Amino acid sequence: MESLRLIDEWPVDETAAGVVGADGVIRGRHGDPARPYRLASVTKLLTAYTAHIAVEEGVFELDTPAGPAGSTVRHLLAHTSGLAFDAHKVMAEPGTRRLYSNAGFEQLAEALSEHAGITFADYLAEALLSPLGMTATELAGSPAAGATSTLDDLLRFAAELQSPKLLAPETLRAATEVAFPGLSGVLPGFGHQKPNDWGLGFELRDHKSPHWTGAHSSPRTFGHFGQSGTFLWADPDAGFSCVALTDRSFGPWAAEVWPPFTDAVLAELTA
């Protein structure tokens, strides 16, 4: 895909990008597909998906109490537990505000580990990474932001996000619909959004402006980006997912180049 070559113009030293269809067929790759990159908050997609697998396996339920008083697994996934961004400190009553929280995902992983009786990293490996053949992916830090992975591994996961084999399709569909609708909040790097709609672990495109996906991304597009300069989106209407990995931290450069890149990718796919 010629549009993927636009990453060569980004102000980064190392980058890789690829597109995969809902059928699992890779439509294009550019850059080293086996080089490991830090995922930062793209890690949350892996953690959330693992949590949904755990729900289906009966480890816990979405409404199982977890996190601060009054909070549940559902609240933690949707960033509505009331926990602060990077501190295990309660800032609001559960369900009243959309407070993006790394601490919330750490408490989500702790709850899963407690109910499963094994470490979260082991459950992640057994439930998600191993079945998808993501042999180069490792969680060496926080379940909110501590994974490393490669383009090839994330393309496997991106295909799963479109045609789930490890989850029931209706489970993923529900997880990518708005949870606790109408709540406003800050989308990190892109300012206050009203509303700041979020699914159960998945950031939703909807009609947010500004946003890190493209102007022509469908409102149903979901995914995540990371402060390490990485992103993964899945556009159900287009029928494709895109992954981009870099070695430069997120900043104004990314907010400038990512949306037109996504629009170029979508234009080539639908031409």
**Domain count of the fold of the chain:** 1
How far, in Å, are 68, 130, 262 from residue 244 at the CA level?
34, 22, 10
Give the per-residue pLDDT at 155. 98
Give the per-residue pLDDT at 271. 83
Phi, psi of 64 (to 5 degrees): -70, 130
Give the per-residue pLDDT at 142. 98
Read off the CATH number of the domain in which 58 is found: 3.40.710.10
Give the per-residue pLDDT at 260. 98
Give the per-residue pLDDT at 24. 95
Give the per-residue pLDDT at 9. 97
Q: Are 204 and 176 in contact (CB under 8 A)?
A: yes
DSSP assignment string, the chain: -GGGGGGGGSS-SSEEEEEEETTS-EEEEES-TT--EE-GGGHHHHHHHHHHHHHHTTS--TTSB-SSTT-BHHHHHTT-S-B-SSSS-B-S-TTS-B---HHHHHHHHHHHHHHHTS-HHHHHIIIIIHHHT-TT-EE-S-TTT-EEE-HHHHHHHHHHHHS-SSS-HHHHHHHTS-SSTT--EEETTTEEESS--B-SS-EE-TT-SS-SS-TTS-TT-EEEEETTTEEEEEETTTTEEEEEEESS--SHHHHHHHHHHHHHHHHHHH-
Give the residues of the chain that fall short of pLDDT 50.
none
Q: Which residue range is the domain that position 120 belongs to?
A: 2-270
